[in-house]
Structure 1
């Protein structure tokens, strides 16, 4: 499974959306992406990529695209 597939899978499983809905998806665009859902997504991504996200990055993680940008940082080493 590619990193993009792992990333997409976390969103699909946490929020019940389709892959087609991911582009442009932002925090609170879907009912499931509330504060509790956000922490579930973070936990799923940390498990999928075997990382531990910094608090500032968790707070800044505001959209599908922003999440890719954050995970691409050198400290996480996730390549898309």
Structure 2
């Protein structure tokens, strides 16, 4: 007799409870979530790099993050040039 097929909340087929995490999502959901996270992180880094390339500084000389208002001020100064 074939194993019963269940579905995770996203509709992916799962064979057993061990195929799902504590929230009921399957391994495919986890892989998709991780892929989206990696893409999002890469996009954020690309955006930061683009701003840094035109002179926006997100860290001070000691490596500490600058205030968001300072970042906005830098963007305004660059835009007005």
Return the TM-score normalized by structure 1: 0.28
Structure with the larger strand share: 2
Q: Which has the larger radius of gyration?
A: 2
